[in-house]
Structure 1
C-alpha cells in the first residue's frame, strides 16, 4: 500500500511554498499562521487527528525558509545598488553553463552566478548572493565554476535573484573551476565527440538524453518533441538518473558488489550524474525524482516509493522553495506520483487479458500522462493525443541511447575510437526516437487546442480526476480498451474542423506564427494571396488549413529574414502556389537558400509601382524604390528592402509594411503623401523604432501587430501602441489574441480572433 503520510508531508511543504511565493507578504503570513493555529488548536482539542501536525509543520518550515530567502534577496546590498542602476566592481562565480539568447541589439550570453564581493558608492561588501550574468556576445565565455572580477552595471531583476549583472569592463579570472567541474566538462565534451560524426539531429539528441545538453537541437525538432509529449527526454529528468544509476548497479552486481557497497555505488553514481549534468536546482530535483524511481523498483517498492516521493518533495523545498512554482518540478512530482499510485492499479487491470510486460509498458506512460496533462495544457494550451503512443514507441530506444551515449563519453576519455564505437548504437537509438517524434507530430490531429483559461483547465483537471476510477474498468476488458483506442486513432487521423472558422466574410488574416509575419488576403473561394510565411512551416500550414486555403495564386516574401521565410514549406503543404515574388535584396543568404530549397526556383522580383488584380485582391507594390534609395545605411538593409504593398479586398484598403524601419517609412511618407488606409499591418512586429508621424497619419481604423509571445526584443513597444490608439486605431496583437482576422459583413468591418 502507498504511504500517504509521507505524501501529505510533501503536499504540506508545497502548499507552504506556494502561499509565500504567490501571495503578498502580509497575506501569506496571515494564511500560514491561521493554518498552524487552527490545526494546533484542533489537535489539542482532539477535533483533528494528530496526523495533521506533520504536514502543517512541513508547511510552516518551508514557508519560513521561503520568507527568509525572499528577505535576504530583498535586503541584499546588490538589490539596492541595482535599483539605483549603479556601476560597481564585482567578484562573482559562474554557477551554470552559458547560453546564448537573442537580444534587441544582438546576441547575449546569459548565465547564473553568485556574487562574492561588490564594491561601489564608496563601500564594499562580502556576500553570497545569486545573480544573472548578462554579457554581450564578444565578452569571454567562462566555464562553470570560474571566478572573475569585472566592472558592471547592476539592473533590477525578478524572481529569486538579487540583480542582473551587465559587464562594462574586461574580466579578470581570479579562480579556475575546481577539478570536479573540469572532469564533468570533460565527460560532456567526450559525449559530444563520440557522436560528432553522426546525423546532425542524432548528434544533438544523444547529449540531451545523457546530460540534458540540448543547446544545439533544431528548434523544429524540439517543437515535434513538445507536440508528441517527449519533451522530458530533452531535459535532465529522473529518467536519466534512473537509467544511468540503474545500469551502474547492474554492472556492480555483475562485478560482485554486494550489500551496503551497492548503496555506496549508487550514491557515487548519483553524485557523478549531478556533477556532470550540472548541480543546479532543476538537476538536483531530477536526481531526487530518479532516486525515488530507483527506490520504487525495489522490494515493497510502491510503499517505499511514495514515502521517498514525499520526503524528496519536502527536502527539495526546504533547500529551494522556489521550485514549487516551476513547471519542471510540478511535472516531475506529478509524473512520479502517477507512476507510483496509478500505474500499478491500471497494470493489474490490463493483466487480466494481456501479458505483464504489455500491461506495464502501457500503464506507466498512460499514468504519467494523465497526471501531468493539466499542467502541460496550462503551459502549452494543448492536449497531446499522441503522447502515450509516442512514449511507448520511443521507450525501447531511450535506455540504449542514454546508457551507451554515456559509456561512449567515458570510454572516449581513455581512447576516442573506443568511445565512438560504444556510442554508435546510442546514435542509432536516437534516430529512432527522432523518427517517432516527427511521425507523431505529422499526425493530422497530434494535439488539440485546449486553452489556458481557468474554465478549460478546471474542466480538464476534473476529466483527468474522473479517469482515475474509470480507467481500470475500461482497461480490464479487451472490448472497451480496443474500442477507446480505435476512437482515439480515428480522432488523430482526421483533422477536425474549427467550429465557426474561418469566420464568415473574412478578407484579411494575420496568422499567429510567433515572432514573425504570416499574412493572408482572401482572393476567392479557398484561394488566397499569402504575404510572408512566418518562421515555422507547421504553424503556417495549420493557419492556412484553418482558413481552408487550398490554392495560393501568389506568394510575396517581403524580405528574406528567417521569421518571414522559414515557414515557406508550410505554404506548399498540399497547396498549389502559382507564383512567388520577393525583395530585390537577396540577403541574408540562408533565407534565400531556404526559399530556393522549398520551391526549387528563385523568387521573382516584385514589380515596383505596378497595380494588378489577383482574384479578389488588388495589389500595388510601393516599396522599395527601383534605385534602392531611401534607407539609412545604419539601419538593417534587409528590413528596409522589405516589399511594401497596398492591397484592397472587398473595398477595404490594407497597408502591408514588412519590417521597414524609420528612414524607409519617412521616404514612404514622402512618396505616398496623403495615403489613407483602413487596416495597417504595423511594421517590424511593433518595434519602438518607427516614424510615428507617418503611421498615425494613415487614418487606419485597425492596426495589427504580428508578434511572438514573450519575445526578447520588447515588441511591441508600449509608446507605439499608445500612439496608434490615440490616433483612433483599434490595436490587435497576435501574441495575446492569436490569429487576427478582419471581416466585412453587410458593409461593416470587424475583427474576429482565435486565441
Structure 2
C-alpha cells in the first residue's frame, strides 16, 4: 500500500511555497501561522494524529525558506541599484548556457548568473545574488561556469532575480569553467558529433533525448511533439535519468558489481547526468523524480516510491521554493505520482484479460496522462486525444535512442568512428519517434480545444478525479475497454464540426495566432488565400481547420519576420498549397530559411501592380514597387518591404498592409491617392508608428488588429485605435475577440468572433 503520509508531506511543502509566492506578504504570514496553530490545537485535543503534524511542519519550513529567499532578494544592494538604473562593475559566474531570443531591437543573449561582487555609486559589496544577463548579439558568448567581470547597467528584475544585467562593456574573463563543466561540455559535443551525418531532425532529437539539448529542433516538429503529448522527451526529465542510470546499473551487474557498490554506481550516474544536463533547478528536479522512479521499480516499490516522492518534493522545495510555481515541476511530480499511485491499480485491472506486458505498457502512460491533463490544458488550452497512443508507440524507441545516444557520445570521446557506429541506431530510433509525433499530429482530431478559464479547468479536473475509481472497472472488462477505445478512435479520425463555425457568408478571417499576422481570404468551397502565417504553426493550422480550409491556391508572406512566417508549416501541413510568394527583400535570413524548409522551395517574389484571381479572390500588390527606395532609413527595412495587397472578395475591398511603417505609408498615400476600402488590416499590429492621416483617409468600415494578448510592445496604441474609431471604423482585436471573421449576408457587412 502507498504511504499517503509521505505524499501529504510533499503536498504540505508545496502548499507552503504557494502561499508565500502567490499571496501578499502579510496574508501569507497570517495564513501559515493560522494553519500551524490550528494543527497544534487539534493535535493537543487528540483530533489530529501526531504523525500528521509532519505535513504542517513541511508547510511551515518551506514557507519560511521561501520568505527568507524573497527577503534576501528584495533587500539586496543589487535590487536597490537596479531600481536606480545604476551603471556598476560586477563580478559574476555564468550558471546556465546562453539562449538567443528575439528582442524588440534585435537578438539578445540571455544567461543566468550569480553575482559575487558589485561596485557602484562609490561603494563595493561582496554578496551572492542571482541575476539574468541580457547582452546584445555581438557580446562574446562564454561557456557555463565562466567567472567574469564587466561594466553593466542594472535593471529591475521580476522578483526571482535581484536584477537584470545589461552589459555596456566587454567581459573580462577572471576564471574559466571548472574541469567538470569542461568534461560535461565535451560529452554534449560528442553526442552531437556521433549523429552529425544523420537526418536533420534525428540529429537534433538525439541530444534532446540524452541531455535536453533541443536548441536546434525544428519549431514545427516541436509543435507536433506538444500536440501528441511527447514534449517530455524534449526536456530533461525523470525518464532520461531512469533510462541512463538503469542502463548503467545493468552494465554494472554484468561486470560483477553487487550490493552497496551498485548504490555507489547509481550515485555516480546521477551526478554525471546532472552535470552533463546542467545542474539547474529543473535538471535537479528531473533527477529527483527519476530517482524516485528507480526506487519505485525495486521491491516494495509502490510504498518506497511514494515515500521517496514526498521526501523529494520536500527537499526540492526547501532548496528552490520557486519550483512550486513552475509548470515543469507540477508536470513532473504529477506524472510520477500517477505512475506510482494509479498505474499499479489500473495494470492489475487490465491483467485480468491481457498479458502483463500489455497491461503495464498501457497503464503507465495512461496514468501519467490523466494526472497531468489539467495542468497541460491550463498551459495549452487543449486536451490531447492521441497522447496515450503516441507514447505507447514511441516508448520502444526511447530507451535505445537515449542510451545509445549517450553511449555514442562517451565512446566518441575515445574514438570518434566508434561513437558514430553506436550513434547510428540511436538516430534510427529517434527517426521512429519523429514519425510517431508527425503521424499523431496529423490525426484529424489529435487534440480538442478546451480553454483555460477556471470553470473549464475545474470541470476537467473533476473528470480526471472521477476517472480514478471508474477506470479500474472499465479496464477490467474487455468489452467496456474495447468500446471506449473504439469510440476514442472514431472521435480522433472524424473531425467534429464546430457549431456555427465557420459562420455563413464569411469572406475574411483574422486568425488569433498571438503576436503576429494570419489572414485568410475565402476563395471558394474549402479554399482560401492565406496572407501571413503567424508565429505558431499549431495556432495557424487550428484556425484553418476551424475554417475548413483544405486548399490554399496562394500563400503570400508579406515579409520574413518570425511573427509572420514561423507558422508556415501549419498552413502547409495536410493541405494542397499552390503558389508561395513573399517580398523581394530576403531579410531576416532566418525567416527565409523557415519558409524554404517548410515549403520545400524558395518563395517567389510577389508581382507588383498586376491583378490576379484565385477563385473568388482578386488581388493586386500595390507595394513595394520595384527598386523602392523612398522609405526612412531609420525605420525597419523588412517592415517597409512588406507586400501590401488590395483584395476584392465577396464584394468588399480589403487592404492588407503587413507591417509597413510611416514613410512607406506616406509613399502609398501618393501611389494610391484617393483609395477607400471596406476593411483595413491595421499595419504593424496597431503600433503607434503610423501615418494616421492616410489610415483615416481610407474610410474603412472595419479595422482589424492582429495582436497578441499582453504583448510587451505596447500594441495596439490607444491613439491609433481612437483615430480609427473617430473616422468611423469598427475596430476588432484578436487579443480580445479571438478569431475575427468578416461576413457578408444579404449585402450587409458584419463581424463574427469566436470569443
What TM-score does the superposition give when structure 1 sets the normalisation length?
Answer: 0.94
Q: Within 5 Å, which residues of 2 pair with 1:231-310?
A: 231-310=231-310
* Range that drifts further, 209-218 or 618-627: 618-627
Q: 1:448 to 1:176 in 2, by over 3 A?
A: same
Aligned to 2:463: 463
Q: Does 2:658 match 1:664?
A: no
In structure 2, the residue corresponding to 1:107 is in which secondary structure?
Answer: strand
Q: Does 2:163 match 1:163?
A: yes
How far apart are the structure 2 equivalents of 1:264 and 1:98? Answer: 33
1:201 Cα deviation after fit: 1.0
In structure 1, the residue corresponding to 2:517 is in which secondary structure?
Answer: coil
Aligned to 1:743: 743
Aligned to 1:104: 104
Gaps of 5+ in 1: none
Aligned to 1:208: 208
Aligned to 2:224: 224
Gaps of 5+ in 2: none
Contact map agreement 1:119 1:125 (CA 8 A) in 2: yes
In structure 1, the residue corresponding to 2:196 is in which secondary structure?
Answer: coil
Aligned to 2:473: 473
In structure 1, the residue corresponding to 2:497 is in which secondary structure?
Answer: coil
1:562 Cα deviation after fit: 5.3
How far apart are the structure 2 equivalents of 1:599 and 1:262? Answer: 51
Q: Within 5 Å, which residues of 2 pair with 1:201-600?
A: 201-535=201-535, 539-552=539-552, 555-561=555-561, 563-565=563-565, 571=571, 582-585=582-585, 594=595, 598=599
In structure 2, the residue corresponding to 1:520 is in which secondary structure?
Answer: strand
Aligned to 1:606: 607
Contact map agreement 1:374 1:460 (CA 8 A) in 2: yes
* Range that drifts further, 38-47 or 19-28: 38-47
Q: 1:585 to 1:60 in 2, by over 3 A?
A: closer
Q: 1:386 to 1:615 in 2, by over 3 A?
A: closer
Deviation string 1:175-211 (CA, Å, 9 cap, x unpaired) is: 1111111111111111111111111111111111111
How far apart are the structure 1 equivalents of 2:740 and 2:152? Answer: 43
Q: Does 2:69 match 1:72?
A: no
Q: Within 5 Å, which residues of 2 pair with 1:129-208?
A: 129-208=129-208
How far apart are the structure 2 equivalents of 1:552 and 1:419? Answer: 45
Contact map agreement 1:243 1:399 (CA 8 A) in 2: yes
Contact map agreement 2:606 2:643 (CA 8 A) in 1: no
Contact map agreement 1:103 1:712 (CA 8 A) in 2: no
1:611 Cα deviation after fit: 6.2
How far apart are the structure 2 equivalents of 1:132 and 1:248? Answer: 36
Deviation string 1:112-151 (CA, Å, 9 cap, x unpaired) is: 1011111111111111000001101110111111111001
Q: 1:555 to 1:372 in 2, by over 3 A?
A: closer
How far apart are the structure 1 equivalents of 2:552 and 2:196? Answer: 41
How far apart are the structure 2 equivalents of 1:123 and 1:10? Answer: 43
1:90 Cα deviation after fit: 0.7
1:37 Cα deviation after fit: 1.5
Q: 1:285 to 1:729 in 2, by over 3 A?
A: farther
In structure 2, the residue corresponding to 1:236 is in which secondary structure?
Answer: coil
Contact map agreement 1:582 1:606 (CA 8 A) in 2: no
How far apart are the structure 1 equivalents of 2:470 and 2:585? Answer: 61
How far apart are the structure 1 equivalents of 2:338 and 2:729? Answer: 50
Q: 1:246 to 1:108 in 2, by over 3 A?
A: same
* Range that drifts further, 161-170 or 560-569: 560-569
1:464 Cα deviation after fit: 0.7
Contact map agreement 2:568 2:598 (CA 8 A) in 1: no
How far apart are the structure 2 equivalents of 1:533 and 1:587? Answer: 17
What TM-score does the superposition give when structure 2 sets the normalisation length?
Answer: 0.94
In structure 2, the residue corresponding to 1:667 is in which secondary structure?
Answer: helix
Contact map agreement 2:619 2:645 (CA 8 A) in 1: yes
1:81 Cα deviation after fit: 1.1
How far apart are the structure 2 equivalents of 1:206 and 1:557? Answer: 33
1:546 Cα deviation after fit: 1.9
* Range that drifts further, 706-715 or 653-662: 706-715
Contact map agreement 1:606 1:643 (CA 8 A) in 2: no
In structure 1, the residue corresponding to 2:467 is in which secondary structure?
Answer: helix
Q: 1:337 to 1:629 in 2, by over 3 A?
A: same
What CA RMSD, in Å, does the superposition of the two structures yield over aligned residues? 2.6
